[in-house]
Amino acid sequence: MSPNSTQWQDFASNDLDQVQSSVSSMIKPHRLSLKKASQPLQTRMRFVQFGQVALMRLGYGADVRIQPEELAGFYLIQLPQYGQATIRCGGETVDSSPKIATVLNPNAEIDMVWHANNEQLMLKVDRTLVENMALNLDWHVPSSGLIFPVKLEAHRSTNWQLMLRYVVDCARNSDSVLQSPLLIAQLEQLIATTLLDAHPPLTAEKLRVPGKVLPKHIRLVENYLHEHADQVIRVDELAALAQVSIRTLHAGFQEYCGISPMQYLRQIRLDRARHDLLHSLDPNVSVAQVALRWGFMHQGRFSAEYKQRFGETPSQTLQRRRHEM
C-alpha cells in the first residue's frame, strides 16, 4: 500500500469542533460555523486516499459556512449529489446543485455556504499531478499554475460520469485497489486526464503542432512570451534572446507552433484578457480597460479576434460573469 493511501473510512459527529478538526485533517484547515444556531449538525463523511487523489462524500445536515485556507497544493472538485450550496472561489460565485459542480483552484480565496440538504462527492487532486499531465499533453503550464473555471457542468460529459462511477467503485473496493500501485497510478492518470479533457483550464494554451519536439530556442522564446506577455515585445528582441535570425525564428515557430511568434503572443494576451474578464475583483471593470491592459488598441478588432477564439464577444463574457455574481 502506498504511504499516501488510506482505506474507505466512515466519520460521523454532531460536535462542531470535532467536525472542523476531522474534516481539516482530511482536506484543509478551515473555519466552520453554523448559519442557524437552531440547526444541529448531523455530519457524515466517507474518505479514501489513492496516492495523489482522494475521494470524499460529505454532508453536514445543517446550513454551514466554510472558509478554508488557500488550497495551495491541490484542486478540489465538488459534485453535489443532493441539495444546494453557494460557492465563491476567487472572482467567481456559483450556485451549486446536482447539475452544477465546482472546481476550487489552489491559490484562490474561498468562501462557501452549504445548505442542510447538501451532500457532495469531492475529488481532491494533487496540483503537481494535474500540471504534469498537462505538460505530457503538450500544453503550456504558466508559472502561476493552471486555473480552471469554477463552474463545472459535469453531467454533460459522458467521460466524466464514467470516470466518477469507476472511482466510486474503486473506493467501495479500496481494500483490493490499495494493494496494487499500478491500479493507483492508473486511477491518478484517469482522473487528471478526464479533468483536463472535460473541463479545460483557462490558463493553458495548447498551441504546438502535435508530434513535434520543441528545439531549445523555440521553448526559450515560448517561456519568455508567457512570462512577459504584459510588456512591450519586439520580434528582433526575441531573435536576440534565442540567438537566431528573425527569419529562423519565424520559420521555427511556423514549423513547431503553426503560427508566428507575434501571433503566439497575441493568443496568450487574448487568453489573459478572458481571464481578467472572468475573474476581476473590480465590479466596474470594462471591456475597454481589459483590452488596453493587454495591448489591444482597436476595440472592434479585439472583439472579433476574441469571438473567433472563444465563441462569444468580450461583452458577453463580462455580462455572463456579472450575472453569476
Nearest to 114 by CA among 186, 52, 65: 65
**pLDDT tens digits, 131-168:** 888 877 767 777 678 889 899 988 888 889 999 999 99
Average pLDDT for 31-42: 90
**pLDDT tens digits, 183-212:** 898 899 999 999 998 888 876 555 555 556
pLDDT score of 37: 84
pLDDT score of 3: 46
**pTM of the predicted structure, to 2 decimals:** 0.64
DSSP string across 134-174: HHHTT-B--TT-----SEE-GGG-HHHHHHHHHHHHHHHTH
**pLDDT tens digits, 260-309:** 899 889 989 998 898 888 877 778 889 999 988 898 888 888 898 888 88
Label residue 215 by pLDDT band (50, 70, 90).
Answer: confident
Q: Are 70 and 108 in contact (CB under 8 A)?
A: yes
Q: Distance between CA 70 and CA 141 in Å, rounded? A: 20
Output the average pLDDT for the chain.
Answer: 87
Domain boundaries, the chain: 6-198, 216-324
pLDDT score of 105: 92
pLDDT score of 21: 92
- Please state which of the four CATH numbers 3.10.620.30, 3.50.50.60, 3.40.50.1100, 1.10.10.60 is assigned to the domain occupying 216-324: 1.10.10.60
**pLDDT beyond 60 at 4:** no
Here the cell at position 63 is 446550513
**pLDDT beyond 70 at 7:** no
Label residue 227 by pLDDT band (50, 70, 90).
Answer: confident
- Please state which of the four CATH numbers 3.50.50.60, 2.60.120.380, 3.20.20.70, 2.60.120.10 is assigned to the domain occupying 6-198: 2.60.120.10
